[in-house]
């Protein structure tokens, strides 16, 4: 290593060439990195979708979902299986374990489903897909006073135009149901012509064909036999011959039915600011750049609006706005931090050394960008924060090397020799410190949970940059310092140096002597502070919650009326909510000095006859300068109570899941319903909660049919009668045709008038070989309450209730604890066949904590081994790790000072703090060991290590703290997500710095006393303090071996 270092120092042209290449390739690589809000996250979920038209939720559950769930039980790699059985369809979601291979699990799931041979007739083949990694980029809304079909056609044109740009691939259209051809027949026409719905549908299927009949090969020519009677529109289908009479007359479809091109009979509509709308959601893939996509979409929309008058396009949900703001924020804070660091280094060291140490930051980042291109790194919120965090660590290592070289120069050594000697002195400790810091960030890759996946990029950035810093600090930095021009210190530098020397050789040295003299008391003080801090956290004085509240620029209101409510009634209440939203906007707008509206747009979406949503797009948070929940609460107050609503939920959806989400599990449906009602009532009575919602509200009332004895006597079965009723009421799917991009279903059914009364069932006729009979004479009708959906969790029926916090700043764990003891425990005692489990944020936290136990144990073991090898003492390694918990003192009280609850993000800051703590401690102990090897007495070695490493440790701490300082005190909404991590690192390091400088020296004395005592027990001899130190023994061994070689 010394030869390689000497080569670079003696050949500076290699250093300059390396820098030119590094910056050249680095800047090119930076331009090729994609930008996104978060790094692409593999959802690791598989979705199974099943369609069974006309089936009830119970039929979907029994006939499809349970069979699939049973076959999934023994598959490896599955974490959790949830399912929802709705009218006509079922949906099963499989969550894959973090360590499992998604492709293998997908193959196993497909094979398990293929083995099921008892799916009901009429069910469409299950669709099994692994969910892809996509992120929303922007949404375009089309509105205009034109028919919905015209809006759809124009949206298709825009979709094709955007795809033609070449950089946009994922576009989803919404705002309209699927198209179909509706063939409606009156019962009187069917009876008059002795037809059934199924017979009409089969006539359409048989006539509407395109088929080949082979080919005839003659000597000179080959002919293809083909028939093409395919019809694609309602008018064309009307010409199909349905029946011919013995008299020779023909009956065409148009003679007995009304054939129309129609929308599917599903309640699905979107409006934008009160006008019917169609939306285009433009998403991005991991290899696409969100800013480039948004730029192209905005340019297209501007051009579109300039050339269209009847239809206009509006931008909605532009995710790049928040990304640009966060990039600007982090770049600004990073720049300020860098300038602070440069100022501090320039004041404490010479200007040239400060410059070269600071230059290590862009050098390492250039290396990061080069590697980032190969590993698909993106410029996102987390990777930028990782760069801010690592700046202080980079400077730490540079300062240690530069300060060591600086001390050699101050002692009179020439600059070239000082560069080599100073670097080699601290390179082992710097290497060990970097390796341990890398290990400290490794858990980010292995801890389970969504938040860990999000923060992976921070670990990637830190690890790659640290590796680059080791190379730069070992080879390039010493060469820079060796060949830099030596200038006389300025007057202010001389005064600062004298002040630093007075501080460390007079005041600090005196503190260390007192600490060593009263070492037990010195050690007990931080232990007491740690106990006090833990007590404050446990008692709630310093609150802890799972995830911080992250404000957004959208508000969603979900409305559910009782099943069976009319579509017009649902629209009425959605319109009412929208009207109140604009009134609230006017109130806030009048209060603002800039008179800017706080609400930009309101979108309504009808998802069922009785269900709908209102999405409110707010002014971006930086301009708005007010929390979204203030607007939400004002709107909630304005809307008031909707008496006929089953559910009304206001607020923004948390990225981390619902704060309160409780699932009751069991096979007893009656017990589940009763327990769910009690749970919902008790949660609603809790003043700390709001928006209490159940996931499986009751459904439409159902008409249950059972056969009379007469039906059995006449040879009818439940299958034949129900199939006949289904064909008439729900409809018979005659055919599917492809019309452009749309798959069109052709449905044959009764007219709408015949499907609107129970009397239709009573009048309906059904025939068999013995004659024609009214259905009412063959079956009994019974009206019962139905269900809207049936949920399962890991094979058990699930009744789920969720809620939000009334005050987003309230700590969640004590609320959950009270729910567990005061609500769930008595409830489960009352219903012993049921169990309960928490989902949402609690489940995410539990997943993270559970996996962290094993990961952190391995982490600490690896760090222990690396530190022990680096210091050549496992006892000293244990001593270093004992310092880590004391950082929590600063972490906790730092959060308290800023009024922020400790949360999961704070713990990731603690992990980062661990690496920095170990870094500084290793530098201190390495200097102590070197003094022992050089023959210094123990007391002298401790004082020398303390005073000589004082400036390096102070500088490393100050640079890290000042680097994060601008972010900690940032009032911008965009910074709130990252501030807990920054507080953990900065305040934790502030305390740890004092612990290392003041408490570590007496701990080293105590460790030496322990070594001497052990030696006395083993040998009966009380030796000099230095004798039992590993550094002393290694030095003695080296001297013996060296003398032996000489002899």
The values of phi and psi at residue 175, to 5°, are 115, 0
The angle formed by the CA atoms of residues 439, 440 and 445, to the nearest 5 degrees, is 80
Strands 742-750 and 179-185: parallel
Residue 350, C-beta contacts closer than 8 angstroms, at least 6 positions apart = 406, 486, 487, 489, 493
Structure tokens at 35: 């930008």
Contact 944, 310 (CB under 8 A): no
Q: What is the CA radius of gyration of the chain?
A: 37
* Mean pLDDT for back-to-back runs of 10 residues, the chain (1047 residues): 75 84 91 80 88 86 92 89 89 90 91 91 89 83 89 91 88 87 91 90 91 82 84 91 87 92 78 88 85 91 90 87 76 72 70 77 89 87 78 72 77 80 81 82 80 81 89 83 67 74 85 91 93 90 81 85 83 91 92 90 85 88 82 90 85 73 89 90 90 72 86 88 90 89 90 83 85 88 79 90 84 88 92 91 83 81 86 88 92 91 84 80 86 88 88 78 78 72 90 92 92 87 85 67 48
Max Cα separation, the chain? 129
pLDDT at 489: 62
Structure tokens at 150: 């015209």
Q: Are 893 and 369 in contact (CB under 8 A)?
A: no
Q: Which residues pair with 902 in a beta bridge?
A: 544
Per DSSP, helices labelled H in 308-380 are: 319-348, 351-374
The residue assigned the tokens 């997908």 is 106
**Secondary structure element (H or E) that encloses residue 170, with its range:** strand 170-174
Q: What is the rounded CA–CA span in Å between residue 948 and residue 501?
A: 10
Cα–Cα distance list, 133 to 287, 293, 295 (Å): 10, 16, 22
Q: How many CB atoms lie within 10 A of CB 899?
A: 8
Number of H helices, E strands in the chain: 38, 30
Contacts of 10 (CB under 8 A, 6+ apart): 416
Q: Residues 747, 732: contact at Cβ < 8 Å?
A: yes
β-pairing, 269-272 with 257-263? Answer: unpaired
Dihedral of CA atoms 999, 1005, 1007, 1008 in degrees, nearest 10, equals 160
Cβ contact 613:559 at 8 Å: yes
Structural domains in the chain, CATH included, are 2-32+323-517+846-1040 (1.20.1640.10), 42-132 (3.30.70.1430), 179-263+700-787 (3.30.2090.10), 554-643 (3.30.70.1430)
Residue 788 has a pLDDT of 75
Q: Could you give the CA distance from residue 483 to residue 414 in angstroms, rounded to a whole number?
A: 11
pLDDT at 161: 92
Q: Which residue's structure tokens are 């897909």? A: 129
What is the SS3 assignment for 512? helix
Q: Which residues pair with 711 in a beta bridge?
A: none
Query: From residue 42, how far is each of 73, 130, 450, 963 by CA, in Å?
Result: 23, 10, 10, 32
Which residues are CB-neighbours of 572 under 8 A, at least 6 positions away? none
Strand partners, 735: 746
How many other C-beta atoms can be found within 10 angstroms of the C-beta atom of residue 803? 24
> Could you give the 3-state DSSP secondary structure of residue 789?
coil
In Å, how far from its chain's centre is CA 727? 45
- Other C-beta atoms closer than 10 Å to the C-beta of 626 total 16
As a whole number of Å, the end-to-end CA separation of the chain is: 28
Q: Identify the helix (H) or strand (E) that includes residue 1030.
A: helix 1030-1046
- Rounded-to-integer distance, Cα 533 and Cα 893, Å: 8
What value, to the nearest 5°, has the Cα angle with vertex 705 and ends 699 and 711? 170
DSSP type of residue 376: T
Cβ(580)–Cβ(638) under 8 Å? yes
Identify the bridge partners of residue 835 per DSSP, sorted by sequence position. 665
CA angle 992, 536, 444 (to 5 degrees): 55
Question: Is the Cβ–Cβ distance between 318 and 213 less than 8 Å?
Answer: no
For tokens 């799931």, the residue is 109
- CA angle at 534 for the pair 528 and 539, rounded to the nearest 5°: 125
Q: Give the chain's length.
A: 1047
Identify which of 328, 332, 347, 329 has the alpha carbon closest to the alpha carbon of residue 959.
347
Per-residue DSSP letter, 379: B
> Which 8-state DSSP code applies to residue 349?
S
**Predicted model pTM:** 0.76
Q: Is the torsion defined by CA of 892, 896, 897, 901 positive or negative?
A: positive
101: left (phi over 0), alpha (psi -120 to 50) or beta: beta
Helix-strand-coil percent breakdown of the chain, rounded to 5?
A: 60, 20, 25
Q: Are strands 790-793 and 796-805 parallel, antiparallel or unpaired?
A: antiparallel
- Give the C-alpha separation, 138 to 152, whole Å: 19
| Rounded Cα distance, 876 and 871, in Å | 7
Count of Cβ atoms closer than 10 Å to residue 695 Cβ: 17
**Cα distances (angstroms) measured from residue 256 to each of 248, 765, 826, 985, 1045:** 17, 17, 63, 78, 113
């Amino acid at each position: 290593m010394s030869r390689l270092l000497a080569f670079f120092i003696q050949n500076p042209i290699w250093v300059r060439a390396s820098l030119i290449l590094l910056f050249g390739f680095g800047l090119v690589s930076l331009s090729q990195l994609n930008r996104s809000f978060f790094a692409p996250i593999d959802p690791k979920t598989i979705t199974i979708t099943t369609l069974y038209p006309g089936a009830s939720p119970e039929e979907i559950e029994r006939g499809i979902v349970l069979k699939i769930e049973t076959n999934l039980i023994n598959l490896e790699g599955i974490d959790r299986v949830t399912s929802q059985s709705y009218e006509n369809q079922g949906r099963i979601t499989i969550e894959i374990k973090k360590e499992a291979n998604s492709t293998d699990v997908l193959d196993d799931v497909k094979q398990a489903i293929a083995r099921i041979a008892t799916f009901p007739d009429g069910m469409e083949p299950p669709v099994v897909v692994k969910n892809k990694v996509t992120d929303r980029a922007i949404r375009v809304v089309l509105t205009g006073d034109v028919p919905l079909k015209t809006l759809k056609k124009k949206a298709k044109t825009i979709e094709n135009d955007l795809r033609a740009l070449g950089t946009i691939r994922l576009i989803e259209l919404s705002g309209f149901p699927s198209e179909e051809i509706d063939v409606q027949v009156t019962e009187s026409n069917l009876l008059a012509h002795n037809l059934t719905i199924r017979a009409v549908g089969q006539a359409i299927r048989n006539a509407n064909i395109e088929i080949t009949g082979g080919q005839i090969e003659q000597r000179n020519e080959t002919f293809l036999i083909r028939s093409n009677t395919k019809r694609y529109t309602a008018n064309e289908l009307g010409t199909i011959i349905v029946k011919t009479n013995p008299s020779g007359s023909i009956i065409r479809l148009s003679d007995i039915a009304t054939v129309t091109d129609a929308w599917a009979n599903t309640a699905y509509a979107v409006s934008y600011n009160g006008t019917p709308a169609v939306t285009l959601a433009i998403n991005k893939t991991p290899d696409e750049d969100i800013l480039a996509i948004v730029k192209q979409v905005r340019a297209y929309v501007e051009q579109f609006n300039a050339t269209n008058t009847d239809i206009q396009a509006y931008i909605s949900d532009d995710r790049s706005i928040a990304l640009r703001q966060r990039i600007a924020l982090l770049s600004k804070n990073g720049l300020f931090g860098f300038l602070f660091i440069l100022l501090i280094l320039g004041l404490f060291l010479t200007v040239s050394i400060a410059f070269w140490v600071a230059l290590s930051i862009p050098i390492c980042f250039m290396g990061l960008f080069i590697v980032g291109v190969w590993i698909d790194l993106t410029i996102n919120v987390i990777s930028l924060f990782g760069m801010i965090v690592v700046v202080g660590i980079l400077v730490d290592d540079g300062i240690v090397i530069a300060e060591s070289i600086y001390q050699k120069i101050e002692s009179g050594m020439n600059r070239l020799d000082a560069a080599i000697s100073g670097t080699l002195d601290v390179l082992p400790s710097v290497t060990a410190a970097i390796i341990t810091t890398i290990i400290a960030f490794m858990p980010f890759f292995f801890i389970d949970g969504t938040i860990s996946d999000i923060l992976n990029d921070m670990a990637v950035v830190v690890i790659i940059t640290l590796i680059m810093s080791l190379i730069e600090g070992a080879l390039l930095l010493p060469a820079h310092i060796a060949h830099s021009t030596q200038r006389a210190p300025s007057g202010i530098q001389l005064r600062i140096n004298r002040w630093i020397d007075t501080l460390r050789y007079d005041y600090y040295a005196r503190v260390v002597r007192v600490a060593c003299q009263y070492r037990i008391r010195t050690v007990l003080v931080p232990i007491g502070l740690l106990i006090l801090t833990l007590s404050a956290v446990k008692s709630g004085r310093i609150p802890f919650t799972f995830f911080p509240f992250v404000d957004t620029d959208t508000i969603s209101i979900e409305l559910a009326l009782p099943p069976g409510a009319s579509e017009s009634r649902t629209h009425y209440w959605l319109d009412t909510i929208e009207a109140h939203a604009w009134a609230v906007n006017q109130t806030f707008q009048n209060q603002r000095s800039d008179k800017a509206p706080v609400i930009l747009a309101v979108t309504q979406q009808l998802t069922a006859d009785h269900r709908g949503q209102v999405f409110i797009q707010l002014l971006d948070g930086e301009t708005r300068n007010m929390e979204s929940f203030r607007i939400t609460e004002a709107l909630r107050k304005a809307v008031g109570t909707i008496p006929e609503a089953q559910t009304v939920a206001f607020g923004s959806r948390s990225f981390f899941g619902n704060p309160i989400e409780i699932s009751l599990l069991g096979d007893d449906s009656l017990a589940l319903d009763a327990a769910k009602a009690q749970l919902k009532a008790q949660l609603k009575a809790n003043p700390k909660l709001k928006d209490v919602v159940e996931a499986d509200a009751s459904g439409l009332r159902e008409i249950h049919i059972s056969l009379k004895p007469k039906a059995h006597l006449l040879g009818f079965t439940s299958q034949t009668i129900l199939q006949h009723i289904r064909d008439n009421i729900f409809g018979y799917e005659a055919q599917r045709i492809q019309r452009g991009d749309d798959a069109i279903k052709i449905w044959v059914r009764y007219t709408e008038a015949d499907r609107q009364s129970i009397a239709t069932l009573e009048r309906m006729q059904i025939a068999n070989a013995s004659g024609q009979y009214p259905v009412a004479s063959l079956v009994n009708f019974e009206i019962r309450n139905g269900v809207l959906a049936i949920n399962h969790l890991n094979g058990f029926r699930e009744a789920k209730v969720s809620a939000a916090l009334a005050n987003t700043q309230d700590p969640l764990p004590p609320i959950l604890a009270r729910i567990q003891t005061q609500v769930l425990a008595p409830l489960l005692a009352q219903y012993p066949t049921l169990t309960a489990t928490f989902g949402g944020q609690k489940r995410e936290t539990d997943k993270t904590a559970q996996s962290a136990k094993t990961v952190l144990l391995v982490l600490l073991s690896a760090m222990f081994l690396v530190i022990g090898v680096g210091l050549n003492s496992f006892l000293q390694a244990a001593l270093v790790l004992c310092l880590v918990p004391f950082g929590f003192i600063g972490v906790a009280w730092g959060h308290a000072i800023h009024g922020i609850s400790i949360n999961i993000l704070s713990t990731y800051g603690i992990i980062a703090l661990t690496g920095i703590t170990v870094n500084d401690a290793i530098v201190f102990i390495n200097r102590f060991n070197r003094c022992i090897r050089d023959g210094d007495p123990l007391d002298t070695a401790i004082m020398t290590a303390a005073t000589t490493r004082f400036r390096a440790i102070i500088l490393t701490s100050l640079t890290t703290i000042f680097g994060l300082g601008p972010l900690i005190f940032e009032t911008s909404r965009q910074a709130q997500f990252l501030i807990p991590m920054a507080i953990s690192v900065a305040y934790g390091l502030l305390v740890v710095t004092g612990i290392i400088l003041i408490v570590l020296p007496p701990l080293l004395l105590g460790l030496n006393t322990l070594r001497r005592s052990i030696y006395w027990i083993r040998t009966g001899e009380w030796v000099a303090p230095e004798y039992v130190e590993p550094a002393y023994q290694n030095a003695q061994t080296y001297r013996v071996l060296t003398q032996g070689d000489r002899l």
